[in-house]
Homo-oligomer: A and B are copies of this chain.
Amino acid sequence: MTGKLYAISTGPGASDLITVRASRVLATLDVVYAPAGRKGGDSLALSIVREYLGEHTQVCCRHFPMSADSAEKEEVWDAVAAELQSDVESGKRVGFITLGDAMLFSTWVFLLKRLQNPDWLEIIPGVTSFSAIASRSATPLAMETQSLAVISCTAPEAEIRRALEQHDSLVLMKVYGRFARIKCLLQEANLLDCALMMAEATLPGEQCWRELSAINDENPLPYFSTILINKQWGRERK
Contacts and interface: CB of A to CB of B under 8 A. Distances in A.
A152 interface: yes
Contacts of A11: 19
A128 interface: yes
A103 B20 contact: no
A123 B127 CA distance: 13
A124 B135 contact: yes
A48 to B, nearest CB: 11
Given A16-B19, A131-B125, A132-B125, A144 B152 contact: yes
A17 interface: yes
Contacts of A127: 19, 101, 125-127
Given A102-B135, A126-B127, A141-B104, A19 B21 contact: no
A167 B155 CA distance: 11
A19 B7 CA distance: 17
B154 A145 contact: yes
Interface string A1-28: 0000001010110111111110110000
Nearest to A230: B103
Number of identical monomers bound together in the oligomeric complex: 2
Contact of A16 (B24, B104, B110): B24
A82 interface: no
A138 B150 contact: no
Interface residues on A, range: 35 or more
8 residue pairs, one from A and one from B, having the closest CB atoms: A103-B134, A123-B135, A16-B21, A125-B131, A125-B135, A117-B138, A148-B150, A16-B20
11 contacts: A11-B19, A101-B141, A104-B140, A104-B142, A105-B142, A105-B143, A123-B135, A125-B131, A128-B131, A145-B155, A148-B149
Interface of A: 7, 9, 11-12, 14-21, 23-24, 101-106, 109-110, 112, 117, 121, 123-128, 131-132, 134-136, 138-152, 154-156, 159, 162-163, 166-167
Given A17-B19, A112-B140, A145-B152, 17 more contacts: A9-B135, A18-B19, A101-B141, A106-B143, A109-B143, A121-B138, A123-B138, A125-B131, A141-B150, A145-B154, A146-B152, A147-B149, A147-B150, A147-B152, A148-B150, A149-B150, A166-B166
